[in-house]
Amino acid sequence: MGIAERKDRQRADRERRIVAVARVIAESEGWNAVTIRRLADEIEHSQPVLYSHFDNRDAIVAAVALEGFRDINVALREAARGSTGRNAIKNVATAYLGFALRNPALYEAMFILPTELRFAEAGTRPELRAGFEALAAVVTPFCVDVEVATETFWAALHGLVELERSGRIRPGARSERIALIVRTIVVSGK
Amino acid sequence: MGIAERKDRQRADRERRIVAVARVIAESEGWNAVTIRRLADEIEHSQPVLYSHFDNRDAIVAAVALEGFRDINVALREAARGSTGRNAIKNVATAYLGFALRNPALYEAMFILPTELRFAEAGTRPELRAGFEALAAVVTPFCVDVEVATETFWAALHGLVELERSGRIRPGARSERIALIVRTIVVSGK
DNA sequence: TACATTTTCTAGCAACGCTATATTATCTTG
DNA sequence: CAAGATAATATAGCGTTGCTAGAAAATGTA
């Protein structure tokens, strides 16, 4: 009897729709527009249905964030492919900023909004590690302490994103700043 | 007739109290606990009084943020004093992280929460430039393009703060990461 | 003392996240 | 196939939020 399977599939479909709709609304109108009522309207169900999928609103944000971590991982590995050494670092850095600034709401869910997604802890989702390791991969050839170098690289990129996104540094000089960051890594270790 | 002056003074006092209370609550219970009703209770007035001082809740957050920019400016200049060159950079970087992590809610108001405080624009408040220039001061001896170097330095520090604050990089290796950032600046230009 | 003006408060709106409870649909069983 | 049990969904509402219109009180002026 595939009846239970069909039900499971329909539930999973609905859950995906919720996350997809949340992402679209967030990207087009900001996260404040992503309300439970609005989501319920969009998927044509009542509000309590959402709570049968997610514990609360934050959990929905976290689900979108998780998609973001999957996507950025792909984008970074794409950027690294075909180049090596110093060039690979530059390409990955550029891709990181590009991804973040092209998907501001998504990036917000990943790094700004409060979610239960934790990194340093034991039960860290693999999606969260993957992006970190994409950074680590291009950094590795240049340094002894990969962990420290990757964390610093990541932090620098994240900082550039946030300050640019909030209009606190000039959008124009982006590539010069990236060049500086790249040099940090290249010169540093080895 | 000093009667109008007294009134002005009392109003200014009350406004300062609002900001101070908001800061205290935010730091001890988080920004979600800073509601208009709560603030009104604390200053022993009704809610509409708050709106005679500030346009909306965000404006109160912005006022706290402005205090933060004044404070961090002092902290950074304090840290720079007495040391020169590479040491000055390290001290300032350490002070920056220390300040941010000791005053998480304040830092949140300055950089995370949505406010109307803009940097790049014409009417930028001097408080917002001051901190940037404190960073620029220690960076200047080492680079040709001060603006780019300072922006990058700042971004790196901000990124370290945010990733550490959200538990995404190890708190332990902080000084190693700072050392890496310092090397970026020192090696880069000149 | 009576009036005018400014300041403050009371009371309430609309929207929010979330949930207890009623209702409907679905499956199981006599 | 109808009746009862079970699971899924909807209705309606609670408490809280930011914010505001209009009543009330305090203050200054004559």
pLDDT in tens, A108-138: 999 999 777 766 555 677 888 899 999 999 9
Select the residue of A167, A176, A180 nearest B118 (Cβ to Cβ): A167
* pTM of the predicted protein model: 0.93
The CATH topology of domain B57-188 is Tetracycline Repressor; domain 2 (1.10.357)
Q: What are phi and psi of A108, to 5 degrees?
A: -60, -45
Q: Which chain A residues touch B172 with a CB distance below 8 Å?
A: none
List, by residue range, all CATH 1.10.357.10 domains of chain A.
Answer: 61-188
**Cα distance between residue B4 and residue A111, in whole Å:** 49
**Cα distance between residue A38 and residue A21, in whole Å:** 10
Kindly list the residues of chain A whose beta carbon comes within 8 Å of any beta carbon in chain B.
Answer: 111-112, 118-121, 145, 147-149, 151-152, 154-160, 162-163, 166-170, 173, 176-177, 180-181, 183-184, 187-188
Greatest Cα pair distance in chain B: 63
For chain B, 190 residues long, give each residue's pLDDT as a single digit of tens. Answer: 466 677 788 899 999 999 999 999 999 999 999 999 999 999 999 999 999 999 999 999 999 999 999 999 999 999 999 899 999 999 999 999 999 999 999 999 999 997 777 665 556 778 888 999 999 999 999 888 999 999 999 999 999 999 999 989 999 999 999 999 998 888 655 4
Q: Which chain B residues touch A176 with a CB distance below 8 Å?
A: 145, 148
Q: What's the CATH code, domain A1-54?
A: 1.10.10.60
Q: Indicate the helix (H) or strand (E) that contains B167.
A: none
Q: Nearest 5 degrees, angle CA A128-CA A30-CA A173?
A: 70
For the record, the structure tokens of A99 come out as 């991804």
CB A67 within 8 A of CB A117: no
Cα dist. B6→A24, A76, B40, B86 in Å? 53, 61, 22, 50
A42 touches strand C (CB under 7 A): no
Residue A60 contacts by C-beta under 8 Å, 6 or more apart in sequence? A18, A19, A22, A34, A39, A50, A54
Q: Which chain A residues touch B180 with a CB distance below 8 Å?
A: 148-149, 152, 184, 188
Q: Nearest 5 degrees, angle CA A120-CA A73-CA B113?
A: 60
B92: closest CA of chain A, how far (Å)? 17
Task: State whether B120 and A152 contact (CB < 8 Å).
Answer: no
Query: Where on the phi/psi map is residue A30: left (φ > 0), alpha (ψ -120 to 50), or beta?
Result: left
Select the residue of B111, B157, B184 nearest A184 (Cβ to Cβ): B184
Task: From the CA of B54 to the C1' of D5: give the distance in Å.
Answer: 59
A8 touches strand C (CB under 7 A): no
A34 touches strand C (CB under 7 A): yes
List, by residue range, all CATH 1.10.10.60 domains of chain A.
Answer: 1-54
**Cα distance between residue A75 and residue A66, in whole Å:** 14
For chain A, 190 residues long, give each residue's pLDDT as a single digit of tens. Answer: 466 677 788 899 999 999 999 999 999 999 999 999 999 999 999 999 999 999 999 999 999 999 999 999 999 999 999 899 999 999 999 999 999 999 999 999 999 997 777 665 556 778 888 999 999 999 999 888 999 999 999 999 999 999 999 989 999 999 999 999 998 888 655 4
**Cα distance between residue A116 and residue A105, in whole Å:** 17
**Cα distance between residue B183 and residue A184, in whole Å:** 7
CATH 1.10.357.10 fits A61-188, yes or no: yes
Instruction: Read off the amino acid at residue B117.
Output: L
